[in-house]
A and B are shown apart, each in its own frame.
Chain A
């Protein structure tokens, strides 16, 4: 079956612009996670969805970042008034239930965001 997909694969934008990043999780997976990875570092947690609701958004760096998952499947990460420091690879992961530490997370290839 298909894995996690993310679009676009690359996004170049100008400082101050608005961007949307999309994640299509594995079909049937109820848990969805967004992470951000800067060059040479490990991924950092941003937000976690269980179904349609954001169960934990404690990793969002500020109120310019927002994410939705209206039908419990596809999720969109939205960044307003982008800053050069937002440049990173944004990774999405899904897992079957998200309730157990043994629940494997499957990652997408990421969206590389560059803010000029």
Chain B
């Protein structure tokens, strides 16, 4: 079955440090890939998405992700963490068209310490 794996349910970084959240998917066929962020008591918000254009995708709030077909990965990074980045992050993949049939990872909670 198609699946999405997010390594680490919790990631802790210091303010100003590099943020790296990992995401791997199970298929060799390049699908659509997404990263979402969820702040407390809010809905998921789209950070960025890959749709077979450039492999390095830039999103909002300084985040970016690189699609690596050979590694079936789509890791999310940010050069310098900010306190406001503390949230739950979800990787999602669609093997259909666009947003149809999204398959989500289990989420990674990012903790940012002063």
Whether A and B are associated in the same complex: the answer reads: no
Chain A residues near B (Cβ < 8 Å): none
Chain B residues near A (Cβ < 8 Å): none
